[in-house]
């Protein structure tokens, strides 16, 4: 049977008398992106530091590609690439100098270093900046260099901590595309406290709150965890909010623009059909209707509340 890329068993860690994480269990057995979601202080960084061998756990076991992180630390670490929230970049080195340095740190054979550096530069889209000082790169390209150092030794697991933090919208789109491409042939753990980031990138999700796992399943299962709370509708000939509120199951309506409204409802699976029928009947000329994705923030709140009561 093929080894799991990551297996975490009953992982717990205590700082002084306080438990930062308690009984964390996780298994990743295939390529793809797993989202690690949690608010600031939830326990994500502690989990990642233990996973990457930067911190010794109080209790539990971590296995990377079958290697025990406690007993076979060097072998386990060879299977991991890590990009912390603050990329470990040396600003006075060129891109080439920095990647050659990283390749040596990763114990890549001397004869293979040049090929490894050229491969990651090409893959991360930074080859044309080979001789530029890192300090002179934009935030997006610095992040690409950070990702390049994380994959230069071809690890089976990549751990990314808030990799799009501080980037502008165009840079975020570019880095997301790069992460998706990398995840085709290796496992990626993508840590974030932003729900929409996890939604866009991840196939599976694990949520940590107050040091405990409060949800672990596919992204689809997470999206369907509770009933949606609101719809977004675009109407070419919109009625008043009062008229929309007459539809059975509608609790409240607010207009976001002259023609776009958010319709709040509770636990009514037929609400979409009723809105469509009303639009046809009253000639409101419905152009678009969709589940309001921001409603998933309510799931986040519910799961956090569930954890705090345990």
Q: What is the CATH number of the domain that holds 264?
A: 3.30.70
Same domain, 15 and 138: no
pLDDT digits (tens, 9 = 90+) for 73-98: 999 999 999 998 888 999 999 999 99
CA–CA gap between residue 263 and residue 242 (Å, rounded): 11
* Tally of domains in the chain: 3
Q: Rounded CA gap, 205 and 146, in Å?
A: 24
Residues 234 and 258: beta-carbon distance below 8 Å: no
Higher pLDDT, 225 or 147: 147
Same domain, 72 and 160: yes
**Does 310 have pLDDT greater than 60?**
no
Is residue 21 a part of any domain in this protein? yes
55: pLDDT strictly greater than 50: yes
Tens-place pLDDT, residues 279-301: 999 999 999 888 765 555 566 66
- Each residue of 133-162: pLDDT tens digit? 999 999 899 999 999 999 999 999 999 998
Burial class (CB in 10 A: 0-12, 13-18, 19+), 288: exposed
Same domain, 16 and 54: yes
Name the more confident of 268 and 204: 204
pLDDT at residue 39 is higher than 80? no
* CA separation for the pair 307, 63 (Å, rounded): 26
Looking at the structure, tell me whether residues 102 and 201 fall in a common domain. Answer: no
pLDDT at residue 103 is higher than 60: yes
Indicate if the pLDDT at residue 269 is higher than 70: no
Side-chain half-sphere of 85: how many Cα atoms within 13 Å? 12
1 pLDDT band, cuts 50/70/90, is: very low
Which residues are CB-neighbours of 29 under 8 A, at least 6 positions away?
Answer: 2, 4, 5
Percent of the chain exceeding pLDDT 70 equals: 89
Specify whether 219 is located in the same domain as 239.
Answer: no
In this prediction, residues 173-193 reach a mean pLDDT of 91
Tokens coding 115: 């090929």
Q: Is residue 304 part of a domain?
A: no
Asked if residue 72 belongs to a domain, the reply is: yes
User: What percentage of the chain has pLDDT greater than the value 90?
Assistant: 60
Q: Domain limits at 130? A: 89-145
pLDDT band at 307 (very low <50, low <70, confident <90, very high): low
């Amino acid at each position: 049977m093929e080894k799991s890329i990551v297996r975490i068993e009953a992982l717990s860690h205590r700082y002084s008398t306080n438990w930062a994480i308690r009984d964390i269990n996780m298994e990743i057995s295939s390529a793809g992106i797993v989202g690690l979601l949690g608010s600031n202080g939830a326990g994500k960084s502690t989990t990642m530091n233990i996973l990457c061998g930067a911190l010794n756990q109080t209790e539990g076991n971590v296995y990377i590609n079958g290697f025990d992180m406690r007993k076979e630390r060097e072998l386990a670490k060879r299977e991991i690439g890590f990009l912390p929230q603050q990329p470990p970049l040396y600003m006075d080195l060129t891109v080439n100098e920095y990647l050659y340095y990283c390749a040596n740190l990763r114990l890549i054979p001397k004869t293979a270093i040049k090929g490894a550096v050229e491969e990651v530069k090409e893959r991360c889209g930074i080859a044309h900046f080979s001789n530029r000082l890192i300090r002179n790169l934009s935030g997006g390209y610095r992040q690409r260099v950070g990702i390049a150092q994380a994959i230069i030794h071809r690890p089976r697991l990549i751990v990314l901590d808030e990799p799009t933090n501080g980037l502008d919208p165009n840079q975020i789109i570019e880095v997301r595309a790069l992460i998706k491409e990398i995840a085709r042939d290796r496992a990626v753990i993508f840590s974030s406290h932003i729900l929409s980031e996890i939604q866009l990138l991840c196939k599976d999700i694990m949520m940590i709150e107050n040091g405990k796992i409060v949800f672990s399943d596919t992204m689809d299962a997470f999206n369907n965890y509770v009933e949606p709370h609101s719809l977004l509708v675009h109407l070419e000939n919109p009625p008043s909010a009062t008229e929309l509120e007459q539809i059975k199951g509608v609790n409240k309506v607010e207009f976001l623009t002259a023609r776009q409204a958010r319709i709040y409802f509770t636990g009514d699976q037929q609400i979409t059909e009723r809105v469509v029928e009303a639009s046809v009947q009253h000639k409101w000329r419905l152009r678009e209707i969709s589940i309001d994705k921001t409603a998933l923030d309510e799931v986040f709140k519910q799961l956090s509340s569930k954890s705090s009561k345990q």
